[in-house]
A and B are shown apart, each in its own frame.
Chain A
Amino acid sequence: MGLSYNHPMPITYDEVQHVAKLARLELTEDELRAFQDELNALLGHFQDIVDLDVEGIEPKPHAVVRTNVWSEDVPRLGLTREQAISLSKKSRAGLFVVPTIIEE
């Protein structure tokens, strides 16, 4: 599956719903329809680079590329457990509280 480079199909409502699920965004139906329109408008705009010949060009992942950056192997204090936990909206006994994932 996937869009053909030269003839992009408009994104369907179901596809937008799927993207929202991947992005962990709970959206209303109105929002999903609005994003469907916005994504389709943008994808139309993206067409200019989809049509561009970029054969043989190495992708540039970063503005100023550095490779093999090492840091000194020196221990450094991080946050204490109390500091880290204190930022959470729900914690108990020094632990983050999350909804049950594995049922008994």
Chain B
Amino acid sequence: MSTESSKLAFDDGWQYAPAPESTDHVSIDDQYGLFIGNEFVEPESGRYFDTINPATEEQLASIADASEADVDRAVRAARKAYSDAWSKLKAAERGKYIFRIARILQERAREFSVIESLDGGKPIRDSRDIDIPLAAAHFFYYAGWADKLAYAFPGRNPVALGVAGQVIPWNFPLLMAAWKIAPALACGNTVVLKPAETTPLTAMKLAEVIRDADLPPGVVNIVTGAGDTGAAIVNHPDIDKIAFTGSTEVGRIIQRAIAGSGKKYTLELGGKAANIIFADAAIDQAVEGIVNGIFFNQGHVCCAGSRLFVQESVADEVIAKLKDRMETLIVGDPLDKNTDIGAINSARQLETIESYLKVGREEGAEMHQSSCDVPDTGYWCRPTIFTGVSQSNRIVQEEIFGPVLAIQTFRTLEEGLDKVNNTPYGLSGGVWTDKGAKIFRMTRKIRAGVVWANTFNKFDPTSPFGGYKESGVGREGGLHGLDAYLKLEA
């Protein structure tokens, strides 16, 4: 097949008129306190930090910086709520509170979507169609488990742990809060949650929802801050369980920090997922999947398909098509409904990505970027692919967490598989082939917790998610996600 003849003429005539989502229906306070015991309270230090819009670099709100004392206050509220209210409630009633959160989130979905895109830089299409609906769906799914837990654990008696401390990342702010809070509450625990310092706004809005849903005060507490606040949660002696999503490096620190404390933990960490395309794959479909796999959410996805292995006989075709497709991606205003790739979440993350672009070139790889324009202000990275890379290159081994794809080739299935598995990570993987038997052979042999075949980056509340090897410990989502928040008695 000639790649020339199959190239679509994207570059002449097709211009999209701006289609920005309006923001006039959204209210963001100038300042947010800490959400403890169903009230917004001042931080003990009186310190606040700014959260900014990464697409404009403008300040959106100032956010309380929680100290160790503030975290302690939140934990005490959570403990009290656990002992006095939440653990005494009938399980079915507990479930009804969680259903209520899901419903209010659905009602306020548009507002949440806009705020998510403002605060985090992700395209409104993703916030609107993925983040917010999935977050609501998570609450709805786990709500129903509250009074059915015994059915999930044959022969055991599942009991709540107590207070869960949860620390979440900035790539899917509300969705990660839902992943953490929903199962914790359904299993009968109370929560102290810390959102990421660059994306606290939807968590503060979720606090409003929790207050409006009339949950007993202290069942969910949300404290904002940076690493020190997270450390105060991890190290707090009256927390029974730590749930963390973030980098493998911090995951290691947490596992060490809580050693010997008896705290239960789940860690959802980094990844360097591979997509592997066989010559017999539906190539156009695969190219779409690869593009979605690495450029979805600016590549700020722990399970992003950041490595690509193409069977040698179709490599030229696939790479040409990828370049063509990359050229058509619209990078820019996250609030514009046409936008495919929004803003990089923070100046710091942009710096990290750019340092990897430099490393990639210095290691001898060939870099191709889209020629698209990017706005003058804000943090932007053009979609990027590297070819001519080898297994030992840092851009192949290390998580970049940006829209950067490293492409390699393989000849035999065995060679491809070896390369796919040649990583300390094991979060996800993707297989593209039209042969059913080959799909199952590959999906069985890829050492990763989530494997997508002829699709990629799909999520659902019923579907467990989590890593093998250094990508983490435990699962979130689905029936298997309950285990993380329960003690199973004989």
On whether the two chains bind one another, the answer is: no
Q: Which residues of A come within 8 Å of B, CB atoms? A: none
Q: Which residues of B come within 8 Å of A, CB atoms? A: none
